[in-house]
Amino acid sequence: MVESKGWNWNVVKNNNENIWKTPSIESYYLLNRWKEQKKKNFLDLGCGLGRHSILFGKNNFNVSCFDISNEAITRTKEWAEEEKLKFDYKVGNMIELPYQNEKFDCIYCRNVISHTDTEGMKQVVQELYRVMRNNGECYITLGSKDTWGFKQTDWPLIDENTKLRMEEGPEYKIPHFYADYKLIKELFKDFEFINIYQVIDYYEEKEKIFDSYHYHILIKK
Ligand SMILES: C[S@@+](CC[C@H](N)C(=O)[O-])C[C@H]1O[C@@H](n2cnc3c(N)ncnc32)[C@H](O)[C@@H]1O
């Protein structure tokens, strides 16, 4: 299995930080959904700088913050302390979650679990199943095989679904697993699917337009 590497959050400072401190659009939908369902124990898997931990913490969820990057956990903790919020913090690798069985009602993993290869992905899915309660829900995004990254011929292929990202920046040499609909159905076959949709994000860098395709998946145990 390819070794997972955390994001290099040291290169994300000041103005670059804003995007990572603003909750994603769908987090507000999930916040309402999980509040209505009276869910309580929330795992922010691969919390990054903590934008979703803070959102759910301010809404009275019991928040566990987890990331492989020490820097991510340190900065999430600093922000939570400024907000007078108390969370549980753990540094580790998602292929072996340091939590008891059935601890969580809801798990949020946005642009995280793709950072492994096919073998690692299978282990993460098993771990998600183990730490989720019955009727628990989990939101996941996965890079899509339709995206430009999967088509980069000069990025090393680790296995049929996984490439090493080679541009300079926080994701340099980090493995990226890319999925398609059939693979998603197979990977998460032990769960009930609530929805699967694909989103295209457009962004421009150095006058070049990029379109980034991700699957957004909501599953239930
Ligand atoms: C794209 S960032 C997303 C951060 C956050 N989910 C958000 O939406 O703001 C990916 C995060 O996953 C973490 N990560 C990567 N591989 C990991 C692993 N094997 N176990 C735990 N966290 C990991 C990275 O360190 C990084 O903080």
Distance 175 CA to ligand 1 centre (A): 12
Q: Write down the pLDDT at residue 23.
A: 97
- Provide mean pLDDT across the span 56-79: 97
Instruction: Say what the pLDDT of residue 1 is.
Output: 80
Q: Which of 11-20, 58-67, 206-215 has the highest mean pLDDT?
A: 58-67
DSSP codes of every residue in the chain: -PPP----GGG--GGGGGGGGS--HHHHHHHHHHHHTT--EEEEET-TT-HHHHHHHHTT-EEEEEES-HHHHHHHHHHHHHTT---EEEE--TTS--S-TT-EEEEEESS-TTSS-HHHHHHHHHHHHHHEEEEEEEEEEEEETTSGGGG-TTSPEEETTEEE--SSSTTTT-EEEEE-HHHHHHHTTTSEEEEEEEEEEEEEETTEEEEEEEEEEEEE-
Residue 161 in contact with residue 1, Cβ under 8 Å? no
Residue nearest (by alpha carbon) to ligand 1 atom 27: 48
**Contact 63 CB / ligand 1 (< 6 Å):** no
Is 3 a residue whose pLDDT tops 90?
no
**Would you say residue 56 has pLDDT above 80?**
yes
| Distance of CA 115 from the midpoint of ligand 1 (Å) | 8
Residue 123 pLDDT class (50, 70, 90 cuts): very high
By alpha-carbon position, which residue is closest to atom 10 of ligand 1? 112
Q: Pick from 90, 98, 100: which is nearest to 67 by CA?
A: 90
Q: Which atom of ligand 1 is nearest to the CA of 4?
A: 19
**100 pLDDT exceeds 80?**
yes
Whether residue 182 is predicted with pLDDT greater than 90 in this model: the reply is yes
Ligand 1 centre and the CA of 114: distance in Å? 9
User: CB of 111 closer than 6 A to ligand 1?
Assistant: yes
Q: Summarize the confidence of residues 168-174 as an average pLDDT.
A: 82
pLDDT of residue 203: 84
> Is any atom of ligand 1 closer than 6 Å to the C-beta of 155?
no
Compute the mean pLDDT over every residue in the chain, rounded to the nearest whole number.
93
Name which residue leads in pLDDT, 167 or 139: 139
